[in-house]
Amino acid sequence: MKHGDAQYIAAREAMAEILLERARNRDWPIEYGKLSKLLGELGHNIPAHSVEMDHLLADVSRQESPDRKKAMLSAMVVLKGKQEPGAGFYRLAREEFGRKGDNVTIWGEETKALDRDFRQG
């Protein structure tokens, strides 16, 4: 699978559907392994801690917030042991989404924004 090919785009769309549904229902956090399993059930083999997972999470966040003002959907995906996002989330938050502060502040603000931007009802 290469970035931008048909398989990648299909996996990105499947990931977006999973994360948007979970955001609407406030069914998060979700661990990387669980997300990988859900994608696998849809025919997309994306290992939990892989470059592909990182790229897809970043692209879904970009896709669902093209102006970088809405919450980053990747904020809901966490490491099993730490129960917080991985380093790639914080890097994307700072470098592309212009988020400021330490990791705790950034993640806290993004989780509030998830409720504001995506939650149903």
List, for residues 15-25, the tens digit of each pLDDT value.
999 999 999 99
pTM listed for this prediction: 0.94
User: Which region holds residue 68: left if phi is over 0, alpha if psi is between -120 and 50, else beta?
Assistant: left
What pLDDT is recorded for position 121? Answer: 59
Quick one: which of 91, 15, 72 has its CA closest to 46?
15
Alpha-carbon gap, residue 100 to 120, rounded angstroms: 27
- Residue 106 in any domain: the answer is yes
User: Which region holds residue 28: left if phi is over 0, alpha if psi is between -120 and 50, else beta?
Assistant: beta
Structural domain count, the chain: 1
Mean predicted confidence (pLDDT) in 76-104 = 96
Q: Sorting pLDDT into bands at 50, 70 and 90, what band is 73?
A: very high
Q: How many CB atoms lie within 10 A of CB 71?
A: 23
- Domain of 37? 6-118
- Residue 46 in any domain: the answer is yes
Q: How far apart are the first and last CA of the chain?
A: 37
Tokens at 44, concatenated = 């997309």
Ramachandran angles phi, psi of 78, nearest 5°? -125, 160
- Residue 1 in any domain: the answer is no
